């Protein structure tokens, strides 16, 4: 017999948080616990949080620790850890930190103003660099997303590059360099050339030795005079001694990669008795006086000092909140202790996920990754670059009205572009953010289970999620695939919907609409979930006594927000391609991929059907013809897709895996929860069941196989709370808790033991 993880309302134990329900007519808003602080206290905390984020994002001195956007590893860590701190300790900060917060605000504001002032006094550093996608320095130079307003490609801070250290991200272009199959070797041997120009600051009069090392042709010129050159089949070094007076000297360097040798260039000089790479603070885009150079050194040192003070202040604030929390935990009873630790433990989990995402990849900071030809990740990266370089319409270089409709799912390239804008042109930042997104996904799934079924089921759900993440989700997040965003926006939308049914706050409904709209433009078939979600929300509102007109208005608001976001897709397609297409053009390919017509089907008839002029996608027309001419054969083609979706991978020949036992176990736990536990059938849970049904139907109508089972995984993410509920019942897990909301007691299900 399964035992529900929830307990009765009358259970003994302290209740640190009160929940007061008003009548449905009053909107059923819950009273705010005094422990969460007053509105003024919460506002102060918001101001402190905003000042911390503003400090990191504002442009600083280029040689400071926190120079602004794009965020380096340190800046990104500060942003994420501070966001996690606000999530984990917000209640403690609001209730106990108001006095300290009033002191912190002026200090942080002063630091922010100091950073802005020091930035205004800074000089630009580095050499202007023109990169070309050929070895002859010909044609238009490439553009960098990190330097959108620069006349050159980018501004490099040193002249030491080896292999993947060259910032040749522009070679990830699906339109120019999409070589795969027999031509795959061409991608590994793409040529490029670079020309650097600027000024070298010589700190004192004297004799300087320069070394030029390169694999392929390279030159070094100072004041227009060619000093050294190399042009060897392998790696070669040339050196020269030059007497120079203190001050700036014009500097020009060129290099061309000679395939199949990997790129390699290094320009060094003897400075202060050491052979070192030419780098900032001695490289500038233009001439700089001795006084200006000295002043900039002091400004850079002051900027780094302010950054250190800021980092210390943020660290002390974080540790202070942790200390206050632990003191409260030590003084609390067993039940209250768990309540106080819940959010901090989730925050600790998020920090651990960040460390797991970032630390093993620190060797990839600012390095180039040449993506494989013929792969979705190359397509998405190319589209994201086009958005950053040419604007949000993603025209791919075509005139308006003559471009293409969205080929792939629309939203992910925009999300990827935003990640690149935030963290830089290399793939390090987006990969870290996507892996961290899995941590957010775990917290969201935990929160859904917590809200619906209580802490015991949520804890079991969290354990199940960790297994799902380790075996299935992690590899997806390490690649540029749309599911990396879908794993976050989908559970966020479902959580907001569940919260709305529980508390009926309009803000939650609006957030649900926004997240659900993003889910729709991330994975188009999610649009089929909208009617079922609307029915569940409407019925749940009516069962609580809300008038039909009011309930319909609330559902209409949800629909309006979702459809308003989805309408951006046909609007863009109409402007760019002259066709207001709603779905991605690749959907027809997926529709036919594993529903191959039988010999009975004559595809020539597809062109003569009455609907042919209205269905311009050939694979879609042929699939419709398959359904008309051989409905039984088409129905049979569902069988392997059903088995594959349920975890029997061998049902599809393309799969390299025979079976996923953990997914089969989740299916069994899901069914057990529905059958044995009434609380798994209440209205809030119905929102999740509706998505599982729609996603399952989507998988068998389209094709669940695309890079293994990544298309199937969102369904199991939503099934996890029910698997956790069943697992908690099987092991009789009991944290003496109940669901975090009234939805367990309202119409539609009881949390009692079965």
Instruction: Map tokens 């943020």 to a residue.
Output: 314
* Cα distances (angstroms) measured from residue 407 to each of 248, 410, 412, 587, 617: 51, 8, 12, 8, 12
Measured CA to CA in angstroms, residue 681 lies from 1, 455, 596, 677, 748 at distances of 17, 18, 38, 8, 7
For residues 95 and 193, state if they share a domain.
Answer: no
- Which residues is 199 bridged to in the sheet? 250, 284
- Cα-only R_g, the chain: 30
DSSP codes of every residue in 264-322: EEEEEEEETTEEEE-BTTSEESS---HHHHHHHHHHHHHHHHHHHHHHHHHHHHHHHHH
Residue 602 lies in a domain: no
Distance of CA 283 to the CA centre of its chain: 35
Pair of tokens at residue 286: 């233009």
Residues 392 and 463 in one domain: yes
469 DSSP 8-state letter = I
- CA 359 – CA 44 distance, rounded (Å): 33
Low-confidence ranges of the chain (pLDDT < 50): 1-36, 734-738, 740-754
Same domain, 116 and 166: no
Are 282 and 316 in the same domain?
Answer: no
Angle, helices 529-543/683-701, rounded to nearest 10 degrees: 170
Domain annotation covers residue 637: no
Say what the pLDDT of residue 739 is.
52
- Can you tell me the distance from the alpha carbon of 358 to that of 396, in angstroms, rounded to the nearest whole number? 32
Domain with residue 265: its CATH number is: 3.90.182.10
Asked if residue 416 and residue 302 are part of one domain, the reply reads no
| Gap between the Cα atoms of 517 and 560, Å rounded | 10
In a domain, 174, yes or no: yes
Q: Which residue has the tokens 């079924």?
A: 453
95 lies in some domain? yes
Domain boundary among 260, 287, 314: 287
Confirm if 754 and 676 have CB atoms less than 8 A apart: yes
Overall size of the chain counted in residues: 754
The torsion defined by the Cα of 637, 643, 647 and 648, in degrees rounded to 10, comes to: -100
* pLDDT recorded at residue 34: 39
**pLDDT value of position 59:** 96
Indicate yes or no: pTM above 0.85: yes
Domain presence at residue 2:
no
Q: φ and ψ at 90, to 5 degrees?
A: -60, -45
Our count of domains for the chain comes to: 3
Contact between 267 and 159 under an 8 Å Cβ cutoff? The reply is yes
Closest CA to 742 of 540, 571, 548: 540
Domain-embedded: residue 607: no
- CB atoms closer than 10 angstroms to residue 567: 14
Q: 635-647 as b/e, with b when 16 or more CB fall inside 10 Å? A: eebbebbebbbbb
Q: Report which secondary-structure segment, H or E, holds 450.
A: helix 428-453
Please tell me the predicted confidence (pLDDT) of residue 616.
64
Which residues constitute the domain of residue 429?
A: 381-572+643-744
Q: What are phi and psi of 267, to 5 degrees?
A: -115, 120
Backbone phi, psi, residue 364, to 5°: -100, 5
Contact 232, 242 (CB under 8 A): no
463 is written with which tokens? 């354990």
Residues 245 and 99 in one domain: no
Residues paired with residue 274 on neighbouring β-strands, in sequence order: 271
Question: Which residues lie below 8 Å from residue 653, measured CB to CB, with a gap of 6+?
Answer: none
Helices first, then strands: H and E counts in the chain? 23, 12
* Residue 155 sits in the same domain as residue 49: no
Contact yes or no for 730/6 (Cβ under 8 A):
no
How far is Cα 145 from Cα 672, in angstroms, rounded to an integer? 51
The span from the CA of 101 to the CA of 399, in Å, is 53
Q: What is the Cα–Cα distance from 54 to 56, expressed in whole angstroms?
A: 5
Classify residue 600 by burial, with Cβ atoms within 10 Å: 0-12, 13-18, 19+: exposed
Tell whether 134 and 228 lie within a shared domain: yes
253 phi, psi to nearest 5 deg: -135, 140
Strands of 206-262 (E only): list them: 206-215, 218-222, 225-230, 235-244, 247-256
Q: State the virtual CA torsion across 531, 534, 538, 539 in degrees, nearest 10.
A: 60
CB 423 within 8 A of CB 57: no
Would you say residue 181 lies in a domain?
yes
Asked if residue 19 belongs to a domain, the reply is no
Which tokens is 735 given?
A: 């944290």
Based on the domain organization, do 389 and 538 belong to the same domain?
A: yes
Spell out a b/e string for 274-297, using b for 16 or more CB atoms within 10 Å of the CB, else e: eeeebbbbbbbbeebeeeebeebe
Task: Provide the 10 A C-beta neighbour count for residue 43.
Answer: 14
The answer to whether residues 178 and 62 belong to one domain is no
Distance (Å, rounded) from C-alpha 308 to C-alpha 516? 41
Cα distances from 727 to residues 452, 497, 677, 681, in angstroms, run 15, 24, 12, 16
Q: Are residues 110 and 150 in the same domain?
A: no
Look up residue 260 and give its two tokens.
Answer: 């199949």
If asked whether residues 418 and 501 sit together in one domain, one would say yes
| Nearest Cα residue to 143 out of 12, 1, 151 | 151
End-of-domain residue from the set 228, 262, 287: 287
């Amino acid at each position: 017999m399964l035992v529900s993880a929830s307990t009765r309302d009358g259970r003994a134990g302290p209740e640190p948080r009160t929940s007061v329900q008003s009548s449905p007519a009053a909107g059923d808003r819950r009273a705010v616990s005094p422990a969460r602080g007053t509105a003024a206290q919460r506002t102060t905390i918001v101001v402190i949080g905003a000042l911390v984020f503003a400090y990191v994002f504002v442009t600083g001195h280029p040689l400071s620790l926190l120079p602004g956007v794009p965020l380096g590893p340190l800046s990104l860590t500060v942003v994420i850890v501070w966001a996690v701190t606000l999530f984990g300790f917000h209640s403690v900060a609001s209730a106990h930190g108001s006095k300290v917060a009033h002191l912190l605000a002026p200090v942080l504001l002063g630091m922010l103003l100091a950073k802005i002032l020091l930035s205004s006094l800074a000089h630009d550093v580095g050499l202007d660099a023109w990169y070309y996608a050929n070895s002859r320095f010909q044609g238009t130079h490439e553009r960098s997303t990190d330097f959108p307003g620069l006349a050159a490609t980018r501004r490099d801070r040193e002249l030491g590059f080896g292999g993947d250290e060259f910032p040749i991200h522009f070679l990830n272009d699906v339109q120019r360099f999409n070589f795969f199959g027999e031509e795959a070797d061409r991608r590994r041997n793409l040529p490029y050339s670079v020309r650097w120009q600027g000024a070298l600051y010589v700190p004192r009069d004297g004799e300087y030795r320069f070394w030029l090392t390169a694999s392929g042709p390279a030159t070094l010129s100072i004041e227009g005079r060619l000093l050294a050159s190399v042009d060897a089949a392998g790696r070669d070094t040339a050196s020269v001694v030059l007497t120079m007076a203190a001050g700036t000297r014009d500097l020009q360097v060129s290099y061309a990669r000679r395939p199949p040798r990997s790129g390699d260039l290094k320009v060094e000089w003897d400075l202060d008795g050491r052979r070192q790479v030419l780098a900032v603070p001695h490289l500038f885009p233009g001439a700089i006086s001795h006084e200006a150079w000295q002043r900039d050194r002091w400004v850079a040192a002051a900027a780094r000092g302010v950054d250190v003070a800021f980092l210390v202040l943020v660290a002390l604030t974080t540790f202070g909140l942790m200390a206050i929390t632990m003191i409260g935990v030590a003084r609390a009873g067993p039940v209250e202790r768990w309540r106080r630790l819940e959010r901090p433990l989730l925050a600790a989990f998020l920090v651990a996920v960040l460390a797991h995402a970032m630390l093993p990849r620190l060797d990839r900071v600012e390095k180039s990754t040449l993506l494989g030809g013929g792969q979705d990740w190359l397509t998405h990266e190319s589209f994201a670059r086009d958005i950053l370089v040419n604007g949000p319409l993603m025209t791919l270089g075509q005139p308006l009205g003559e471009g293409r409709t969205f080929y792939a799912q629309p939203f992910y390239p925009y999300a990827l572009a935003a990640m690149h804008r935030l963290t830089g042109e290399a793939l390090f930042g987006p990969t870290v953010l996507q892996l961290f997104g899995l941590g957010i996904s775990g917290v969201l799934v935990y929160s859904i289970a917590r809200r619906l079924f209580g802490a015991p089921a949520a804890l079991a759900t969290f354990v199940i999620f960790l297994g799902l993440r380790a075996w299935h989700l992690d590899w997806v997040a390490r690649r540029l695939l749309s599911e990396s965003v879908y794993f976050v926006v989908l559970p966020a939308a479902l959580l907001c919907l569940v919260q709305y049914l529980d508390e009926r706050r309009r803000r939650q409904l609006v957030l649900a609409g926004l997240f659900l709209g993003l889910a729709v433009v991330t994975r188009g078939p999610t649009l089929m979930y909208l009617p079922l979600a609307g029915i569940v929300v409407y019925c749940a509102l009516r069962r609580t006594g809300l008038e039909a007109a009011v309930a319909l208005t609330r559902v209409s608001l949800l629909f309006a927000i979702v459809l308003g976001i989805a309408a951006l897709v046909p609007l863009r397609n109409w402007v760019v391609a002259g066709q207001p297409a709603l779905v991605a053009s690749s959907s027809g390919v997926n529709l036919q991929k594993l529903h191959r017509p039988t010999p009975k089907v004559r595809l020539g008839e597809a062109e003569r059907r009455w609907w042919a002029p209205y269905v311009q996608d050939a694979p879609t027309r042929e699939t419709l013809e398959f359904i008309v001419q051989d409905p039984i054969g088409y129905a049979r083609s569902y069988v392997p897709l059903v088995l594959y979706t349920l975890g029997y991978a061998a049902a599809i020949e393309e799969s390299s895996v025979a079976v996923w036992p953990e997914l089969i176990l989740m299916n069994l736990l899901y069914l057990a929860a529905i059958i044995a536990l009434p609380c798994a059938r209440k209205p809030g849970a119905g929102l999740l069941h509706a998505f599982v049904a729609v996603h399952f139907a989507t998988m068998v109508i389209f094709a669940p196989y695309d890079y293994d089972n990544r298309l199937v995984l969102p369904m199991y993410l939503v099934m996890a709370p029910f698997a956790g509920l069943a697992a908690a019942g099987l092991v009789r897990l009991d944290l003496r808790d109940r669901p975090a909301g009234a939805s367990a007691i309202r119409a539609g299900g009881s949390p009692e033991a079965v």
